Structure 1
Amino acid sequence: MINFNGELLFKENVHLSTNNRGFKYGDGIFETIKIANKKVVFWEDHYFRLMASMRMLRMKIPMEFTLEFLEQEILKTVAVQKEASSFRARLNVYRKDGGLYTPTTHKIDYLIEVSPNNYKTKKPYKIDVFKDFYNYSGLLSTVKTNNRMLNTLASIFANENDLDNCILLNEKKGVVEVANGNIFIIKGNVVKTPALTEGCIKGVIRGKVIDMIKKNKEFTLEETVISPFEIQKANEVFVTNTIMGIQPVTHYKKKSFTTEFGEKLNNNLKVLQITGK
């Protein structure tokens, strides 16, 4: 069942207008959220990112959109699904119908979809660079809007070339992220990830990984500009998102990587998801 503005409906009973602004103009944002053991994982991080994105896109935040309200709406939607230990939810917020490029209102509708989360860490895991189009650097690119055409095309490219993921570049030919998450590279005791100014999504798991690495005195964390050539010189590479957690990369072009540090971080992340500490 789908949660449409707080009402639980069968999918076939959810009707969106042909004037839906999320459909016509990509005038919407979304959060992909993990639910494990009836707990919304890292919910505060998702919630505050959602609020910041809505403010940036000048959407009117409803008074009832509190941390507690939306968490209960997600759990309410999970409760009517078939039993599973882990779920993924997509919380989509979009401006109400009306207007052309200029909307007639800044009020919003929301929709919550839930499905079982069956992701398991993959090995081998191969990536390469997607060069056909660029992810332009700038603050707007850090927001998870409904406009995911670049990610779609990169994912098609990956599928056509027997890859598990693709690296997206910005207009300066710098590494931004992968098609469905953030990227980290390790060389010696230095861990690098693209800075937000490069245009990458401000990922929730990205933030958790940064915090974990900063607490590890053996490594130095840099949010910086990364060249695709640096990836070939790295000892380890891993990608992150809410659903897969930390996924170590085993191959990039003709280069093979070790996965020890990424696997260790992923184990620590799983503990953090359960305990919150």
Structure 2
Amino acid sequence: MLLYNGEFIPEAELRLPVTNRALQFNDGFFETVIVADGRLRFWNEHVSRMHAAAKTLKLELPQTIVSGELEDKLLQLASQNSAANYGRLKLKLWRSGAGLYIPETNAVELLATILPASPSTTSSLHIGICETITTNYSPFSFFKGPNALLYVMAGIEKKEKGFDDMLLLNRQGQVSELTSSNVFWMKNGVLFTPATDTGCVKGIARQHILRWAKQAGIKTKEVYFDVASLMKADAIFAGNVTGIRSISSINGTPVTIDDTFVEQLRKELFA
């Protein structure tokens, strides 16, 4: 079952016109939400990012998003697809109507899909340094959708080279993010992560990790580091809404792992 513009429909009944603006112009964005134990994980933060993305794209979000009606229907959708215990939900929003570069309307259409899933593994990651593409800071780079092709190309390189993930750099050679996670590292008791104007997504887990660290009295810095500086860290890890994983090597070179700190984060944020 799908949720399309507020209505539950079987997947086979979904019909989208060839003028669909998501297809024609990638005119929209998406959110990936984890359903766990009958709840939408970090839902309020997802709603906040949707509002920020819609404001940037001049889209008019449906009232159901702020009224709580959408949250209820998404949980119903999870139950209908046997994904209430744990599932991966994708919420796609795009500008309605036809038109060319000048749209007919700023109203939004909405499609939600969900599949049962298993919690993310906690094994460490062996990552490579992406050579195919770089991240590009723009008004659209903090949310998901407009830059999706960048991550597709990085994903192809990851598959070709056999790494678990790829470290993306910006045009200045500064560390930005992984293909689907933000990257963090500890050095001398300080928690670092790339600044959003390196072109990285303003991840939901990123916000929670930084907030938790500050509340725990851990100093945090959003920075501009090159790979050589990153390699000197006391511990490096990746985080997104599915969980947190240590990074154990970069381009085949081992790096320090601090599973104690990473496990503490998992317990505090994803238990």
TM-score category of the 2 structures, normalised to the smaller one: over 0.9
Supply the distance in 2 between the matched residues of 1:54 and 1:125 (Cα, whole angstroms): 34
Cα RMSD, aligned residues only: 1.6
- TM-score, normalised by the number of residues in structure 1: 0.92
Supply the distance in 1 between the matched residues of 2:131 and 2:97 (Cα, whole angstroms): 36
Supply the distance in 1 between the matched residues of 2:64 and 2:143 (Cα, whole angstroms): 22
- 1:167 is paired with a residue whose SS is strand
1:84 is displaced (CA, Å) by: 5.4
Code of the aligned partner of 2:254 = K
Alignment partner of 2:248 out of 247, 250, 256: 250
Going from structure 1 to structure 2, the CA distance change for 1:124 and 1:41 (only over 3 Å counts) comes to closer
Supply the distance in 2 between the matched residues of 1:159 and 1:122 (Cα, whole angstroms): 20
Going from structure 1 to structure 2, the CA distance change for 1:14 and 1:146 (only over 3 Å counts) comes to farther
- The runs of 5 or more residues in structure 2 that have no matched partner are none
Query: Mapping of 1:1-277 within 5 angstroms?
Result: 1-82=1-82, 85-217=85-217, 219-243=218-242, 245-253=243-251, 254-260=253-259, 261-271=261-271
1:63 is displaced (CA, Å) by: 3.2
Supply the distance in 1 between the matched residues of 2:221 and 2:235 (Cα, whole angstroms): 15
Contact 1:249 1:259 in 2 (8 A): no
Give deviations 1:13-63, integer Å, cap 9, x for gaps. 111111111111111111111111111111111111101111110012233
Contact 1:135 1:171 in 2 (8 A): yes
Supply the distance in 1 between the matched residues of 2:164 and 2:91 (Cα, whole angstroms): 25
1:139 is displaced (CA, Å) by: 3.0
- TM-score, normalised by the number of residues in structure 2: 0.94
Question: Quick one: percent identity of the two aligned structures?
Answer: 27
- 2:104 is paired with a residue whose SS is coil
Going from structure 1 to structure 2, the CA distance change for 1:71 and 1:49 (only over 3 Å counts) comes to same
1:122 is displaced (CA, Å) by: 4.1
Contact 2:126 2:248 in 1 (8 A): yes
Give deviations 1:84-124, integer Å, cap 9, x for gaps. 52111111110113111221111111000011121332424
Contact 1:167 1:176 in 2 (8 A): yes
Contact 2:26 2:146 in 1 (8 A): yes
- 1:234 is paired with a residue whose SS is coil
Supply the distance in 2 between the matched residues of 1:157 and 1:146 (Cα, whole angstroms): 20
1:256 is displaced (CA, Å) by: 2.9
- 2:156 is paired with a residue whose SS is helix
Supply the distance in 2 between the matched residues of 1:247 and 1:67 (Cα, whole angstroms): 35
1:233 is displaced (CA, Å) by: 1.0
- The runs of 5 or more residues in structure 1 that have no matched partner are 272-277
Supply the distance in 2 between the matched residues of 1:128 and 1:235 (Cα, whole angstroms): 19
- 1:250 is paired with a residue whose SS is strand
1:133 is displaced (CA, Å) by: 1.6
- 1:209 is paired with a residue whose SS is helix
Contact 2:93 2:110 in 1 (8 A): yes
1:75 is displaced (CA, Å) by: 0.9
Contact 1:192 1:222 in 2 (8 A): yes
Contact 1:139 1:199 in 2 (8 A): no
Code of the aligned partner of 2:140 = L
Going from structure 1 to structure 2, the CA distance change for 1:162 and 1:122 (only over 3 Å counts) comes to farther
Contact 2:158 2:166 in 1 (8 A): yes
1:216 is displaced (CA, Å) by: 2.6
